[in-house]
Amino acid sequence: MISFGPVPSRRLGKSLGINNIIRPKVCTYNCIYCQVGKTMQLSLTRKSFFTPEQILCEVNGHLEKLTADDRPDYLTFVSNGEPTLDINLGLSIEMLKRLDIPIAVITNSSMLPEPDVRHELMQADWVSLKVDAADADTWQKVNRPAEGLKFETVLDGIKLFAGDYRGQLRTETLLCKGINDSQENLRDVANIISTLAPGRAYISIPIRPPSEKSVMPPDVETVNLAWQIFREAGIETELLTGFEGVDTGFTGNIYEDILNITAVHPLREDTLMELLIKNGADFRIVESLLSQRLIRSYLYQGKKFYLRDFHVK
């Protein structure tokens, strides 16, 4: 259950996900909008979750099960937690490069003050950095960091990495209504991002059920204003406000496909139905997973989603 997909990505095309921290969520943040739920273990300590050999073997085996049409554009470290907490991340990236598929890492940026983390991420072909806030108070409200993290230190780490990185650098700012979508925060975030000189900055909104049910996406006018502010700051900007689509890759094992994807990527009902069709399965497998409390379903913005249930003992 280390790899999943590939899933359609608004940023990366077909993305084969690598969940290198697969246990009830271990992260440096407890973001109010997180799509995989609340953080079970807030931590700043890097540790080993899987060996690089395990990750390579799992990903290689997964690729062998896919059709040629489902060959991914990227192998993406996108975890049930913060991927840079994996002390083997650098070696895993190095070993996965043998597969001749670009490597992407989506990080919340919080571990970038660590020189080892910056060095390891230099090996990735594509890196996305989170920049949701421009001041410590807003950062605390949105990202809810682990005790010991300091906003200015994290920001310094982001700037150090961006200054040295030679791959495809991206940033992502997720806006929550009434929390970090003020004009002041938008302009200050744009100023920070402009100093990083990413190839592109993404502005996103919650489109899947967030960890805090009260979190809502900003209105259309605010999202448009954010785009205008970023563009005025000289930043190539793209909005990630739509649904990625239902074209999800499959391995032929519908049980594992559903569990692996929903561990880090809530499946909208229409996507799940398409996955069942591809695997020649019917809805009874979903009913079975629900009855075993291996997945759960819930509504967000009028759409039904399915997510891995890690609370089962």
Residues 185 and 303 in one domain: no
Q: Are residues 302 and 204 in the same domain?
A: no
Query: For residue 241, what pLDDT is reported?
Result: 64
Claim to verify: residue 225 and residue 300 sit in the same structural domain: no
Confidence of residue 65 (pLDDT cuts 50, 70, 90): confident
Assign residue 284 a region: left if phi > 0, alpha if psi is -120 to 50, beta otherwise?
alpha
pLDDT in tens, 105-153: 999 999 999 999 999 999 999 999 999 999 999 999 999 999 999 999 9
| Residues 203 and 303 grouped into a single domain | no
Count: domains in the chain: 2
- pLDDT confidence of residue 264: 53
Mean pLDDT of 23-37: 88
Question: In terms of C-beta density within 10 A (0-12 exposed, 13-18 middle, 19 or more buried), how is residue 279 classed?
Answer: middle
Does residue 188 share a domain with residue 114?
A: yes
**Residue ranges in 66-182 assigned as alpha helix (H):** 89-96, 115-121, 136-143, 151-164
* Same structural domain, 181 and 299: no
How confident is the model over 161-166, as a mean pLDDT?
96
Residues 129 and 67 in one domain: yes
* pLDDT for 295: 80
Residues 15 and 91 in one domain: yes
pTM: 0.77
- pLDDT tens figures, 191-220: 999 999 999 999 888 877 788 888 998 887
Q: Calculate what percentage of the chain has a pLDDT beyond 70.
A: 92
Model confidence over 240-288: pLDDT tens digits?
764 444 455 555 677 777 776 775 556 778 878 887 887 778 788 888 8
> Strand pairing of 41-42 and 26-27?
parallel
Q: 10 with 104, same domain?
A: yes
Residue 259 lies in a domain: no
Does 164 lie in the same domain as 27? Answer: yes
pLDDT in tens, 41-54: 999 999 999 999 99
Say if residue 105 is in the same domain as residue 232.
yes
Residue 245 pLDDT: 45
Q: Does residue 283 or residue 89 have the better pLDDT?
A: 89
Residue 301 has pLDDT above 70, yes or no: no
Examine the domain organization and report whether 216 and 292 are in the same domain: no
**Where is the domain boundary, 193, 224, 240?**
240
Question: Is 247 domain-assigned?
Answer: no
What's the confidence (pLDDT) of residue 249?
A: 55
Q: Is residue 256 part of a domain?
A: no
The closest of 311, 312, 313 to 37, measured between CA atoms, is 311
Quote the domain boundaries for residue 271: 267-308
Question: Which pLDDT score, from 0 to 100, does residue 199 have?
Answer: 94
Q: Does some domain include residue 145?
A: yes
pLDDT of the residue at 28: 96
Report if residue 230 sits inside a domain: yes
Q: Does some domain include residue 295?
A: yes
Contact between 248 and 6 under an 8 Å Cβ cutoff? The reply is yes
